[in-house]
Amino acid sequence: MTIYECNCLGDIRANIDLIDGKIVSLLVQRGKYVMQAAKYKKNITEVEDQARIKNIITKVRGYAKQMDFDPNTIEQIYRYLIQVYIQLEKEAFTNLK
């Protein structure tokens, strides 16, 4: 991962905009997989898997540490992200049944 030194606020914002496009693309991909997962759940209570959540949080905190970034910030983002995706999966589960 390369972070370029920017010469002005405009350059910073342009780089952030490019990154945001990539993030949205990845969030959409993740969401589509989450919705597919609903097909394999027997009941709606299986959607919120605490062991899986703990595993994800541990993994992303590790990624943050490897990249020399604050793992607490990444954990907060992911906890919110997971809750939003849980709601999405619950909706997908309900629509399938």
pLDDT tens by residue, 28-85: 999 999 999 999 999 999 999 999 999 999 999 999 999 999 999 999 999 999 999 9
Q: Please check whether residue 3 lies inside any domain of the structure.
A: no
Q: Please check whether residue 87 lies inside any domain of the structure.
A: yes
Distance CA 97, CA 92 (A): 9
The band of 97, judged by pLDDT with boundaries at 50, 70 and 90, is: confident
Distance CA 93, CA 27 (A): 19
CATH number at residue 25: 1.20.59.10
Looking at the structure of the chain, the number of domains it has is 1
pTM, entire model: 0.89
Domain of 45?
Answer: 9-96
Q: Please check whether residue 25 lies inside any domain of the structure.
A: yes
The rounded radius of gyration (Å) of the Cα atoms in the chain is 17
